[in-house]
Chain A
Amino acid sequence: DTGVSQNPRHKITKRGQNVTFRCDPISEHNRLYWYRQTLGQGPEFLTYFQNEAQLEKSRLLSDRFSAERPKGSFSTLEIQRTEQGDSAMYLCASSLGTGYYGYTFGSGTRLTVV
């Protein structure tokens, strides 16, 4: 068990470009969550998966954002046509079943849009 892994750790991109982040959860965890955290704030929920099914998406997740979890293992979060307001830390977390015992978080991917 190597924990939740996120790649890349840092990403700098030009406005208008597309970016994709990857999250590898703890292998036996069936739930996977994406959060966004801006500087000095608490994480905000974006979306979550149970196995390969995306069960909920936040209204924060505009049409430019898409997430997948093929085969219920790793997940990707893609942002199309990035904007400066997308600059944030994107956190991935996983849990076994519901989050009654808390989530295990990854170290995050810091996105900077210039």
Chain B
Amino acid sequence: AQTVTQSQPEMSVQEAETVTLSCTYDTSESDYYLFWYKQPPSRQMILVIRQEAYKQQNATENRFSVNFQKAAKSFSLKISDSQLGDAAMYFCAYLWEGNKLVFGAGTILRVKS
């Protein structure tokens, strides 16, 4: 079974600074999709960014970007110019067999003002 590992249970960042959340995964597939989701306290999960494995270019969505290292099976999320509203639980996820998302355990991001 595919596994997704987020080794940082909790991270803190100062407002306006940059933070990187780590994610590694295990797969034997050559073509797959990876995602980062944000889950604010008591609110629904929101898609932040997605990456297609066959694309070499790292995905970017405004202040959010990824560092996708296919050979290392690493998929980190960089948040630039952190804002108070970025505080949430962040989940890395892998789309397995095109049918279901497999999630990591999550990283709590705290933003300090």
Interface residues of A (CB under 8 A from B): 4, 33, 40-45, 48, 55-56, 91, 93, 98-108
Q: Which residues of chain B are within 8 angstroms of A99 by Cβ–Cβ distance?
A: 33, 95, 98-101
Q: Contact between B100 and A56 (Cβ–Cβ < 8 Å)?
A: yes
Kindly state the separation between the CA atoms of A106 and B45 in the bound complex, as whole angstroms. 8
Q: Contact between B98 and A108 (Cβ–Cβ < 8 Å)?
A: no
Shortest distance between the CB of A35 and any CB in chain B (Å): 8
CB under 8 Å from chain A, chain B span 67-107: 91, 93, 95, 98-106
B37, B98, B102: which contacts A98 (Cβ < 8 A)? B98
25 contacts between A and B (CB under 8 A): A41-B105, A41-B106, A42-B91, A42-B103, A42-B106, A43-B45, A43-B101, A45-B102, A56-B99, A91-B45, A93-B45, A98-B95, A98-B98, A98-B99, A99-B99, A99-B100, A100-B33, A100-B52, A100-B98, A101-B50, A102-B37, A102-B50, A105-B45, A106-B44, A107-B44
Q: Which residues of chain B are within 8 angstroms of A93 by Cβ–Cβ distance?
A: 45
Kindly state the separation between the CA atoms of A42 and B9 in the bound complex, as whole angstroms. 11
Main secondary structure on B side of the interface with A: strand
Q: Known contacts A41-B105, A100-B95; decide if A48 and B100 are in contact (CB<8 Å).
A: yes
Known: A102-B50, A105-B44. 8 other contacts (CB 8 A): A42-B91, A42-B93, A42-B105, A98-B95, A99-B33, A99-B98, A103-B101, A104-B47
Kindly state the separation between the CA atoms of A101 and B35 in the bound complex, as whole angstroms. 9
